[in-house]
Amino acid sequence: MSLDYVKFTPGFERFMPKEYRDMVEHGPFGKKVTVSQMGSFKEILEEHPMCAGCAMTLFIRLAIISFPNPEDTITVGTAGCGRLAISQAAIPFVYGNYGDQNGVASGLSRGLRLRFGDKPKDVVVLAGDGGMADIGFSCTLHSWFRREKFTTIMLDNEVYGNTGGQESGMTTRGAVLKMAPLGKKFDKMDMIGMAKIAGCAYVATVVPNNPRRVESVIKKAVLIAREVGPTYIQAYTSCNIEYAIPTDKVMEDAKTVEDDRYKFTEYVSDEAKEYLADRYGYKTFLPQPTAAVKET
């Protein structure tokens, strides 16, 4: 985990596979790339076996491009569709039992801090709504209550996509799915509210059809998790298969859902605001001068 693992051993350049040479020469490691430059550099995640048009894949690509230091980042995941793509990425991916991702990430993050001290090594959990809010719920919540310093990103497709359409706690009330034919009887879980109560220093909701916004929230979440506390991003990443969304309408659906019930929200704790402003120059978080009171 450093720039060294994406460098050639002198004298071996020409023996390396083309994919590897491309990654070293045209990849994002050690450079600052942005989502606006997509298509002009070799991405850490390019090939994957997910369904055509899957919004989750687009979101994962955007998220990985947005990592502030990809060469110093470890992703953690679990069973579910997302791992099929994340495990193809050219950065380390830790895969445990279904639902234990925030427990694994807690140990990993602590271990990396002991081993590398002040040099930031970012730990980012990327997992589905079932893995995070259902079977992994206690691991998720307890990691936040313990104020573990890493980022948790929910790939919220509002269904168990990988196993063919069971309802999850994040499915909306009334939704009819292949394996929930009578419609879900309970409300979508308020993981955003729970993240705030449990002590996350940064909490945001986002959809993938606004790449610059995705980039902005991922960067802030990862930077804050380095020193301030846990951060949580909940991303609407529709499952076009289980919700029968035509491939060419996936982004349209994301926009409709965003306008309707998945609006962009961002919560930044005061400590996190101060940290982002002081350490990383986020001027919007600097205290604003109060307007002079006009004397009458």
Ligand X SMILES: Cc1ncc(C[n+]2csc(CCOP(=O)(O)OP(=O)(O)O)c2C)c(N)n1
41 interface partner picked from ligand SF4, ligand X, none, CB below 5 to 8 A per type: none
Q: Which of residues 153-192 bind ligand X (CB under 6 A)?
A: 155, 157, 159-163, 168
- Cβ nearer to ligand SF4, comparing 69 with 162: 162
Could you tell me the smallest distance in angstroms from the CB atom of residue 70 to ligand X?
A: 22
Quick check: 81 binds ligand SF4 (CB under 6 A)?
yes
Quick check: 161 binds ligand SF4 (CB under 6 A)?
yes
What is the sign, positive or negative, of the torsion defined by CA atoms of 52, 55, 57, 61? Answer: positive
- Cβ nearer to ligand SF4, comparing 236 with 282: 236
160 interface partner picked from ligand SF4, ligand X, none, CB below 5 to 8 A per type: ligand X
- Cβ nearer to ligand SF4, comparing 3 with 179: 179
Contact track, ligand SF4, 185-224, x by CB under 6 A: ----------------------------------------
Find, among 51, 123, 37, 62, the residue nearest to 84 by Cα. Answer: 51
The two structure tokens encoding residue 236: 């609407």
Rounded distance, CA 58 to CA 56, Å?
5
**Total chain residues near ligand SF4 (CB under 6 A):** 12
The region of 49-57, 86-94, 113-121, 225-233 touching ligand SF4 under the rule CB under 6 A is 49-57
The region of 50-58, 99-107, 141-149, 191-199 touching ligand SF4 under the rule CB under 6 A is 50-58
Quick check: 241 binds ligand SF4 (CB under 6 A)?
yes
Could you tell me the smallest distance in angstroms from the CB atom of residue 53 to ligand SF4?
A: 7
Quick check: 50 binds ligand SF4 (CB under 6 A)?
yes
Rounded distance, CA 36 to CA 103, Å?
34
* Binder among 71, 72, 100, 129 for ligand X (CB under 6 A): 129
Quick check: 54 binds ligand SF4 (CB under 6 A)?
yes
Residues forming the site for ligand SF4 (CB under 6 A): 50-51, 54, 56, 81, 157, 161-162, 239-242
